[in-house]
Structure 1
Amino acid sequence: MSASTAERLPVPIPTDRLHGLIDPADTPMAKCVVALIAIHGLGRRETRCLRLTDLDLDLDLGRLTVRRDLKHTVYLDELTHALAADWLRDRHRR
């Protein structure tokens, strides 16, 4: 007889707490990085190794290619997509 155990899924961060993490970040890039870590669970090494070409915001389909052992595609939620677009605009402006 085998018994299976239920796997617990991660609990999402409440919206007010998430904004409490993002709002103190002082630059658009910092806000985007906080969202990638808090919402999508990117690690330090994954975040540090990201390249501009890994980000695809075409046709409102926000995707990010993350290098792990194999390439992994992260589909961006609305908030992270908007923060990434803000960062790209700020980067272009500077």
Structure 2
Amino acid sequence: MTQRQISHDFDLPLCADGHQARHMLDMRAPRVGGGDFIECQCRSTVRHGDFDQALAEWCRLNDTKKPRIPKRAELLQFRLPLQRSARP
């Protein structure tokens, strides 16, 4: 299967008719019609090279504002000293 649905930490904007949108990724090469696109029951965007372009087109088609995408929290990693057990 060449297409899969991508989930996000935020909801995509509804289409103008109120349908829930979903982010799809067509994993074929871009030259043969692959890329990111957003679709619902009644419409979809063309395939784009990245998600941000597809989302911008979706918002333009449906006359909505681009949703606020939460920033990922940075993972802090601390080096902990290894404790060696005392051997008798």
Tell whether the structures are fold-level matches, with TM greater than 0.5. no
Larger Cα-atom Rg: 2
Structure 2 length-normalised TM:
0.27
Higher RCO, 1 or 2 (CA under 8 Å, sep at least 6)? 1
Structure 1 length-normalised TM:
0.26
Structure in which a larger fraction of residues adopt helix: 1
